[in-house]
Amino acid sequence: MVTLDTGNTAFMLIATSLVMLMTPGLAFFYGGLVGRKNVLAIMIQSFLSMGWTTMIWFLVGYSLTFSGDWYGIIGNLDAALLRGLDVTTLHPNGFPLLVFVAYQMMFAIITPALITGAFANRVSFKAYLFFLTTWLIFVYFPIAHMAWGPNGLFQQIGALDFAGGTVVHATAGFAALASVLFVGKRKFNGEGSHSVPLVALGTGLLWFGWYGFNAGSELAADGVTALAFLNTDIAASMAAVTWLMITWVLEKKPKFVGLLTGAVAGLVAITPAAGFVTPGSAFIIGIVSAFACYAAVALKNRWQLDDALDVWGVHGVGGVVGCLMLGLLATTTVNAAGADGWFYGNPMFFVKEAAVVLGVVIYVFIFSYLMLWLINKITPVRITSADEELGLDESLHGEVAYE
C-alpha cells in the first residue's frame, strides 16, 4: 500500500514550480531576441500558453495523456476534468497525484510556446490560438502518452526519454521548421535583438527551471535525481563554453548571445539522457550539442530559412542529438531502470532511439504544416504587410513595450 511521502511531495512541488518558471523565462529569452516593436507580441504567446494550456489540460489533456490506453498511442477521457482524483489519491512514489497532474501540465505549457520563436513578428494572434489548441491535442498529448503514459508505444518498443528530448524539444523544433516553411520570411526584419540583457535574464530563468525539468522527472528525491541535476549543469556549461569558443574562432569575437544560445542547446540535448548517463557522458553531450546546433543554425542561414529565433536549430536538432547520444551513452550502471547504449554493448537500443525520434519528427513536421494550411482556410495565418511594418505590439495588441 502506498503511503504519503512528505519528502517526495515537497520535492515535486518545488520541481513543478521550477518548470512553471521556465515559461516566463522563455518569454524574456524570446522577448530580448526580437525587435522593439514585437516584444509584447512574442511574450504574450508564452504567457497565453500558461492559461490556455492549463484549461485544455484540465478538461482533456491529462486524461488523454495519462488515463487509459488506445493501442499505445493515446489515452481516454476517463479522467477528463480530473474525475476520480482527489487529495487522497497518491502516485506510486508517495506524493499526491494532483502534484503529478500539475508537474506534467507545466511540460505541456512550455512545449508549444517554444515553437513561437520560429514565426516571430508575422503570425496573427487568432491563428496562433487555433494552432496552440490543435497542436496540443494532435501532437503533444499522443506523443507524451507514447513516451510516458500507461503502456505507451515508445515504452513497448523499449525507447527512453527521461525528461522530454523527443516529447518536448524535437516536437517543438520540427513544428517550428514546418511553420517557417509555411509562413515564409519576414518582410521587415532589420531590427535584430533589441535587448541582450533580457536574453540573459531569460537564459538564467530557463537554466534554473531546467533543474526541475530534468531532476524532477525522476519523480522522487533519490540518487538518480542528483545525477540528473548534475548532468544538466555539466551539459549546459560545456555547450555554453563550446559555442562561445566556436564564435570566437569563426566570427573573431566571443559573442555573449552565442554563450547563452549554447547553454540552451546543452540543456536541450541533455534532457532525454539526464538520468540515464554518467557525468562524463553529459560532458560529451554538451560539447557535441554545441557543434551540432551551431552547424544547424549556420545551415539554416545558408538555406535562408527565416527561423527567427533558431527554434529548429537549437530545440529541434538539439532534441534529436540528445536522443541519439542517449542511444550511444546510456548505461544501467547509473540507473538500473534505464538501458545500455551502443557504447555499452547494446546497439539495438540506439536503433530504437533513432527510429522513435525519426518517426516523431516526420509526423510532427507533416501534421504542423497541414494544420497551418487548414487554419489558413479559416483565418489568415500571416498578418498584413502594413501590420508587420508597424509591429505586432501596436497592430495586434494596441500596446507598446517602450514609449
- CATH code of 6-397, in short, is 1.10.3430.10
Residues (pLDDT < 70) of the chain are 189-191
How many CA atoms within 13 Å lie on the side-chain side of 153? Answer: 19
- The Cα 30–Cα 203 span in angstroms is 10
Distance CA 169, CA 34 (A): 21
User: What was the pLDDT predicted at 190?
Assistant: 62
| d(C-alpha 75, C-alpha 68), whole Å | 5
CA distance between the termini of the chain? 61
Q: Are 331 and 341 in contact (CB under 8 A)?
A: yes
In the structure, how many helices (H) and strands (E) does the chain have? 17, 0
- Residue 118 near residue 179, CB atoms below 8 Å: yes
On whether the CB atoms of residues 108 and 101 are closer than 8 A, the answer is: no
Give CA separation, 286 vs 8, 56, 174, 253, 264, in Å.
29, 35, 21, 21, 10
Nearest alpha carbon to residue 243 among 287, 301, 199, 297 = 287
Cα(90)–Cα(5) distance, rounded to whole angstroms?
9
**pLDDT tens digits, one per residue of 242-281:** 999 999 999 999 999 999 999 999 999 999 999 999 999 9
- The radius of gyration of the chain's CA atoms, rounded to the nearest angstrom, is 20
Which residues make Cβ contacts (< 8 Å) with residue 373, sequence separation at least 6? 182
Asked whether 94 and 5 are in contact (CB, 8 A), the reply is: yes
Looking at the DSSP bridge assignments, the partners of residue 96 are: 90
Cβ–Cβ under 8 Å, residues 114 and 26:
yes
Which cell goes with 254? 566571443
Residue 178 backbone phi and psi in degrees, to 5: -60, -40
pLDDT at position 192 is 76
pLDDT, one tens digit per residue, over 224-252 is: 999 999 999 999 999 999 999 999 999 99
pLDDT at 184: 92
What pLDDT sits at residue 403?
Answer: 81
Angle, CA 273 vertex, CA 211 and CA 338 arms, to 5°: 115
Q: Domain locations in the chain?
A: 6-397
Query: Going by C-beta distance under 8 Å and a sequence separation of 6 or more, which residues neighbour residue 298?
Result: none
Q: Are 57 and 105 in contact (CB under 8 A)?
A: yes
Give the angle subtended at the CA of 214 by the CAs of 212 and 220, to the nearest 5°: 75
Residues 129 and 124: their CA atoms lie apart, in Å, by 9
User: Using CA atoms, how far apart are residues 322 and 239, in angstroms rounded to an integer?
Assistant: 12
3-state secondary structure of 122: coil
> Alpha carbon of 68 to those of 149, 162, 167: distances in Å?
8, 21, 19
The pLDDT of residue 193 is 86
Q: What grid cell was written down for 290?
A: 554545441
